[in-house]
Amino acid sequence: MTAEMGLRLGQVAGLHFRRGNRRHTVVIGKDTRLSGYMLENALVAGFTAAGMDVVLTGPLPTPAIGMLTRSMRADAGVMISASHNPHSDNGIKFFGPDGFKLSDTDEEAIEAGLRVNAPMVEPAEIGRVKRIDGATDRYIEFAKHSFPREMRLDGLKVVVDAANGAAHRTASRLIWELGADVIEVGMSPNGININEGCGSTAPEAACEAVRANGADLGIALDGDADRVHMIDETGHVIDGDQLMAAIAEEARVRGKLNRDTLVATIMSNIGLERHLADNGIGLVRTRVGDRYVVETMRAHGYNVGGEQSGHIILSDHTTTGDGLIAALQALAVMLRSGRPASEALHRFVPMPQVMRNIRVAPGSRPLEQETVRQVIRDHETELGATGRIVVRPSGTEPVIRVMAEGEDRDRLEAIADAIGEAMTSAPVRPVTSSTTLFAKLSA
């Protein structure tokens, strides 16, 4: 992910999003990574070369860019972020004019454009650039309106961990304005400490802050604030599966869960599925990625969905995963119940899951190796109906993710290790000219 790639991508995407003979606009936001400055300037050069005007927001949560794209009637939105990854990574997420992430068709069209020389507009048609004030305020007010009007957080002590990321100007202010006393964690970005020992992927700091301060609750976001994990008053983590269960059950009781169904991915715990069934709620599973959850929700009219990792999509309020809005809905569940988070937001006992992230040699392509496939099949047969195995390439990191789920954790550990060993032992195959050169633009 270089400046050159950013420039080319901006130019190709700019041409893709231009519709008709008029001025066109793209909204560009970013998280707090040092490389964001480089990519922001590169994208600006590309979009203006394609004749698009650019609106810069500075650091803002990913869902804020989706909201602003639609609210400002822009032709596209761009978020510069590698989400929960370390500062050394970066990425680019696109939103269409409706505020939703792009379809596979749109992404493939942009990727195809990277393989040819994109034309530049005439000098008099080059786009203009401006930085807007007030984008943070607009997003905070938007998020606050998702919280029940009759409710306040007065008397609650809440730890808010922004992962030194995109929500460092919005998260604690939002919760404070709703009445809570706020203890801040991960609010001092320096360009290289995003997600470092804090946030939803490293919630130990927020857990310790909850315990040390006697807080009622903790909210831990990831680097671009589209994910959330919460922490109960005892310092235990509440993951996306538990939050989805609590929000969906509350919505069903209030007659607001469309088709009495929740949408989740293949990674969600089987305990969630069983719990929902016991409470009259169906579960539809999708491939991994919040974009695929959203596509299924839109296609069938569902309004609650998400991922175990904390991407939670509430389509009555947002077009994409929004960690802060999801946290507000969970807080509303807790307040209505009159019970502490440890009782209100822990809804089921999860079945044991074991995760492995396997780094493999470049060119090895282990999932194409019959020996690896056979190892996976053998262990699937061993688990039978008592468990399952999910093996997939990561959409954001150069690793293959292995998940084993079942009754016996020790056996799951052995199975995950055996699959990982089979993959790392796979022979390296030479890269051919037909190898795909460009990764997916978003995951």
CA angle 287/32/440 to nearest 5° reads 30
Strand partners of residue 77: 27, 95
CA-wise closest residue to 53 among 83, 85, 26, 18 = 26
* 342 belongs to the catalytic site: no
Place of tokens 């195809």: 112
Q: What pLDDT is stored for residue 394 in this prediction? A: 81
What tens digit of pLDDT does each residue of 416-426 get?
A: 999 999 888 86
Distance CA 345, CA 277 (A): 18
Q: What's 238-344's CATH class? A: alpha beta
Residue 238, by phi and psi: left (phi above 0), alpha (psi -120 to 50) or beta? beta
Pull the structure tokens for residue 326: 């999801």
Is pLDDT at 182 greater than 90 in this prediction? Answer: yes
Q: Report the Cα 1 to chain-centroid distance in Å.
A: 19
pLDDT band at 436 (very low <50, low <70, confident <90, very high): very low
Strand partners of residue 356: 402
Q: Tell me, yes or no, if the pTM score tops 0.85.
A: yes
**DSSP category for residue 339:** S
Half-sphere exposure of 210 (CA within 13 A, CB side): 25
Query: What are the residue boundaries of the structural domains of the chain, listed by start?
Result: 3-133, 138-236, 238-344, 353-424
Q: How many percent of the chain have pLDDT more than 70? A: 95
- In this chain, the answer to whether the domains covering 3-133 and 238-344 adopt an identical fold is yes
What tens digit of pLDDT does each residue of 75-102 get?
A: 999 999 999 999 999 999 999 999 999 9
Distance CA 228, CA 242 (A): 11
Pull the structure tokens for residue 401: 């993710």
What tens digit of pLDDT does each residue of 39-54 get?
A: 999 999 999 999 999 9
Q: What pLDDT is stored for residue 211 in this prediction? A: 98
**DSSP category for residue 352:** P
Three-state DSSP state, 295: helix
Q: Which of 83, 172, 309, 442 is catalytic?
A: 83
The answer to whether 160 and 170 have CB atoms below 8 angstroms apart is: no
CA-wise closest residue to 441 among 43, 19, 22 = 43
| Architecture of the domain whose range is 353-424 | 2-Layer Sandwich (3.30)
Q: What pLDDT is stored for residue 434 in this prediction? A: 34
Q: What pLDDT is stored for residue 207 in this prediction? A: 98
In this predicted structure, which of 15-19, 127-131, 162-166, 237-241 has the lowest mean pLDDT? Answer: 15-19
Q: What's 138-236's CATH class? A: alpha beta
Distance CA 170, CA 174 (A): 6
SS3 track for 197-241: CCCCCCCHHHHHHHHHHCCCEEEEECCCCCEEEEECCCCCEECHH
Q: What pLDDT is stored for residue 286 in this prediction? A: 95
**Looking only at Cα atoms, what is the longest distance across the chain?**
68
How do beta strands 237-238 and 282-286 pair?
unpaired
What tens digit of pLDDT does each residue of 262-279 get?
A: 999 999 999 999 999 999
Torsion of CA 420, 422, 427, 431, to 10 degrees: -40
**DSSP category for residue 195:** T
Q: What's the whole-number average pLDDT of the chain? A: 92
Q: What pLDDT is stored for residue 368 in this prediction? A: 87
Task: Give the residue, 385 or 280, on which the prediction is more confident.
Answer: 280
Pull the structure tokens for residue 127: 């786009």
Pull the structure tokens for residue 147: 């919280």
Q: What pLDDT is stored for residue 441 in this prediction? A: 37
Distance CA 322, CA 6 (A): 25
Output the CA–CA distances (angstroms, integers) from residue 223 to 85, 186, 220, 335, 388, in the order listed: 8, 10, 10, 27, 31
Report the pLDDT averaged over residues 375-383: 92
The answer to whether 263 and 298 have CB atoms below 8 angstroms apart is: no
What tens digit of pLDDT does each residue of 301-352 get?
A: 999 999 999 999 999 999 999 999 999 999 999 999 999 999 999 999 999 9
The full DSSP string for 88-143 is: T---EEEE-TTSSBPPHHHHHHHHHHTTS-PPPPPGGG---EEE-SSHHHHHHHHH
Using CB atoms within 10 A of its CB, is residue 431 exposed (0-12), middle (13-18) or buried (19+)? exposed
Three-state DSSP state, 363: coil
The residues, ordered by sequence, that sit 6+ positions from 68 with a Cβ below 8 Å of its Cβ are 27, 29, 57, 60, 74, 77, 135, 138, 139
Pull the structure tokens for residue 397: 């990191």
Name the CATH superfamily housing domain 3-133: Alpha-D-Glucose-1,6-Bisphosphate, subunit A, domain 3 (3.40.120.10)
**DSSP category for residue 260:** G
